[in-house]
Structure 1
Amino acid sequence: MNHNTPLPPASPRPLLHLAAGRRRVLTVAQLRTHGVTTAELTEQCRPGGAWQQLLPGVVLLHPGPPTSEERLHAVLLYAARESGTPGAAGVTGVPAQPGAEDPHGTPPAYREAMITGQAALTLHGFTSTPPLLSLEKIDVLVPRLRRLRSTGCARVIRTPVLPVPRQVTGVPVAPVPRALADAVAELPDAGVVRRLLTEAVRGGHCEPASIVRELNQAKLLGRPHVVDAVDSLLAEGRAIAEDRLYRMVREYGLPDPVWNVDLRLPGGPHLGGLDAYWPEQAVAVELDTRAPRQDEDAMWSEYARKRETLERLGITVVHITPRKLRDAMEQQATVVRTALMAAGDRDPAAYVVVLPR
């Protein structure tokens, strides 16, 4: 044999090396890139074989029950759009090129798909949702025009616009507000819905307004048990925001205001309620805890009208959202302190009557 003699074709690697890999869930298309033929795939996936078809086009490379991680990846592989193909992963597609990622950093195998619903909430760290292995269905969010059907453990949920996913243990997961809305859509139990919404706020996962916005967009606010849970959620959110406001005044050395008061003109009309008021400086703080429901425009008009009326009377109104109090308390304390310090440079405010609310 000389250097011009062609080498014999390399023998195919035994299929055992695939099952020994780190990822034991692959699409049919990915298996083909490893040299697995249709005949070999059929043989491995026969009853009692070494592999099993977990979902259409998705193969589990061992015969036992899938782990929670394997179920998640199987659902994502089934639902994801692979590079350069219009179909579902592993059915008509070719695998994405290694290392190619979209602008959001989503792994290429999972483009246009993310875990949502109760499974997503569990991944976000919720304790009131079931463990992943106990969920019969795993919800997966895809674009509205994808031609996919729910099957096996995968429940397909469609949306006109995909949110930007969060990466949790290497899995693309819908943001908490969207995952909550998708979970609530499948839950008829008022107690379960209330626990989920309450944990979202108490656990600091998101603010009530973002939850109500998603529930409204999902047209879930017409369900009585959801409305009841939202009312409890808003009360919970306001209580948390008020506690943070008290803490801001105390921790950042602001002078003590009068808390939770109503203002009136002497012998005149009611001007509105305020969360905190400094009478000597004529500075007010109002927590903006509006929830985005169908009457949002009317509520905002009422807020704006009250603010304009007070400012015409020489009262400075500082609006603070619960999110700003949570994420930028020091900055909000600086805004209030600046307003208090500027009081001496303004014309005296009109006299108003301060009453407990």
Structure 2
Amino acid sequence: MNHNTPLSPLPLRHLAATQRRVMSSAQLRAHGISTADTAAHCRPDGPWQQLLPGVCLLHPGPPTSEERLHGVLLYAGRPPAKEARTVPAQPGAGEPHAPYADAMITGLAALALHRFSAAPPLLSLDRIDVLVPRTRRLRSTGCAHLVRTHALPTAVQITGVPVAPVPRALADAVAQLTDAGAVRRLLTEAVRGGHCEPAAIVKELNHARLLGRPHVVDAVDSLLAEGRAIAEDRLYRMVREQGLPDPLWNVDLRLPGGPHLGGVDAYWPDQAVAVELDTRAPRQDEDALWSEYARKREHLERLGITVVHITPKKLRDSLEQQAAVVRTALMASDDRDPAAYVVVLPR
């Protein structure tokens, strides 16, 4: 064969059975295509092109968003321990190995796959972040930007693509952003859209050491306020829809002529039952706040006040179960010793 010999767009018909237009060199070899044949088809005038090192696009035009995603995963995924087979694969037999082991899409590309309206469209991204173990010996190249981690999270499968869960994807996206508005929009959408709770986001941001950046701190403050407002709305809905008696909302408790005991989100004075939403999030400077929270709860319980602790996640995922917990505490008040008298003030 010389350089003027035309190349078939698809030299082996059984490749069509894979329904893939992007494949790794290992996959092509498993289908009986030699390295030399692959290189010949990826010449500038050939029917294929090299998308990334060791990854071929089986057509001459620009790659689609899906092809870029699969190409990045093929490049970054852990290769098999040994070649599964060297004879051509049979149509319908499937791929010889799992090519995406230890790799998943993260960052802005992952948020786009999670359908974040605040994330740029996939085609507009110059690079695609892919999360890999720290021990992977690869470099970022082309559209593939490697993000290394000590421990991979459990991936979410979206249209056959392994994607980092929202909190991790947010942290990897925020690490690359300097626009305070963009950061705030992404974090707000994560909570407002029901993707995850603020605590999970702040935990990932803290783990990534991003809470020292002023524009991230400002966005987190807005995020926590947004998350608390949503949790309060869920608490109101729980009381209304589950037929609980109306409490006193957002009140401060004090001993008569004594010290301030702290604020609670809902309080039933006749039953001495309080509900407190735990909207705290793990941050670098909040150990003292956590200790103060625990002291307040212990003090109230010593006075005979039952404190029902509810997280926003529990309200979102098991509202009826949380209502049952509150109802049980209210019904059990008759079997307890009378609580100390406290003064209830609006908060």
- The TM tier, using the shorter chain, reads over 0.9
Contact 1:82 1:94 in 2 (8 A): no
Q: Secondary structure at the match of 1:198?
A: helix
Counterpart CA distance in 2 for 1:44 and 1:121 is 35
Task: Name the CA shift for 1:81/1:94 in 2 (closer, same or farther; >3 Å).
Answer: farther
* AA of the residue aligned to 2:26: A
Return the offset for 1:176.
0.2
When normalised by structure 2's length, the TM-score is 0.92
Distance 1:119 1:323, change over 3 A: same
Partner of 2:180: 190
**Deviation sequence 1:254-291 (CA, Å, 0-9, x none):** 00000000001111100000000000000000000001
Question: In the TM superposition, what is the alpha-carbon distance from 1:138 to its structure 2 partner?
Answer: 0.3
Letter in 1 for 2:48: W
Runs of 4+ residues over 4 Å off in structure 1: 93-101
Change in 2 beyond 3 A, CA 1:30/1:298: same
Distance, in Å, in 1 between the alignment partners of 2:337 and 2:36 is 88
206, 217, 230: which one aligns with 1:240: 230
- 2:6 matched residue in structure 1: none
2:147 corresponds to 1:169: no
State the shift of 1:99 in Å.
Answer: 7.4
For the pair 1:64 / 2:36, whether they are aligned, the reply is no
Q: CA deviation at 1:39?
A: 2.4
How far apart are the structure 2 equivalents of 1:345 and 1:21? 68
| Residues 65-74 or 18-27, more deviating | 18-27
2:73 corresponds to 1:76: yes
**Is structure 2 residue 53 aligned with structure 1 residue 37?**
no
Structure 1 residue corresponding to 2:321, chosen from 331, 334, 337 = 331
Does the 8 Å CA contact 2:278/2:310 hold for their aligned counterparts? Answer: yes
Q: 1:296 to 1:108 in 2, by over 3 A?
A: farther
Aligned equivalents of 2:238, 2:62: Cα separation in 1: 52
Give the partner amino acid of 2:21. Answer: R
Shift of 1:36: 1.2
Q: Provide the secondary structure at the position in 2 that maps to 1:108.
A: coil
Question: What TM-score does the superposition give when structure 1 sets the normalisation length?
Answer: 0.90
Of 284, 304, 328, the match for 1:314: 304
Identical counterparts, % of pairs: 78
**Structure 2 equivalent of residue 340 of structure 1:** 330
State the Cα deviation string for residues 237-270 of structure 1 (Å, max 9, x = none): 0000000000000000000000000001111100
1:265 corresponds to: 255
Structure 2: segments with no counterpart, 5+ residues:
1-9
8 Å contact from structure 2 (residues 139, 146) kept in 1? yes
What residue identity is the alignment partner of 2:115?
A: G
Tell me what 1:7 maps to: none
Alignment match, 2:277: 287
Which of 140, 148, 160 is the matching residue for 2:138? 148
Report the AA paired with residue 212 of structure 2: G
1:125 is the counterpart of 2:115:
yes
RMSD of equivalent CA atoms: 1.9
The code of the aligned residue for 1:41 comes to T
Matched-pair contact (CA < 8 Å) for 1:19–1:61: no
Match of 2:3 in 1: none
The answer for the alignment partner of 2:49 in structure 1 is 52
1:95 and 1:202 map into 2 onto residues whose CA distance is: 49
**Partner amino acid for 2:35?**
T
Question: What is the aligned partner in structure 1 of residue 21 from structure 2?
Answer: 24
Looking at structure 2, the residues matched to 60 and 316 of structure 1 have their Cα atoms a distance apart, in angstroms, of 64
Q: State how many pairs are aligned.
A: 333
Alignment check: 8 A CA contact 2:18 2:94 kept = no
Question: Quick check: 1:201–1:237 contact (8 Å CA) kept in 2?
Answer: yes
Call closer, same or farther: CA 1:100–1:72 in 2, change over 3 Å.
Answer: closer
Describe the SS at the equivalent of 1:201: helix
- Does structure 2 conserve the Cα–Cα contact (< 8 Å) formed by 1:30 and 1:95? no
- How big is the shift at 1:301? 1.3
Q: Distance in 1 between matches of 2:29 and 2:166?
A: 37
**Runs of 5+ unmatched residues, structure 1:** 1-12, 86-92, 102-106
Report the secondary structure of 2:258's partner residue.
Answer: coil
Flag the 1:100–1:299 CA change in 2: closer, same or farther, 3 A: farther
Deviations 1:145-172 (A, max 9, x none): 1111100000000000000000000000
Decide whether aligned partners of structure 1 residues 203 and 95 sit closer, same or farther in structure 2, where only a CA change above 3 A counts: farther
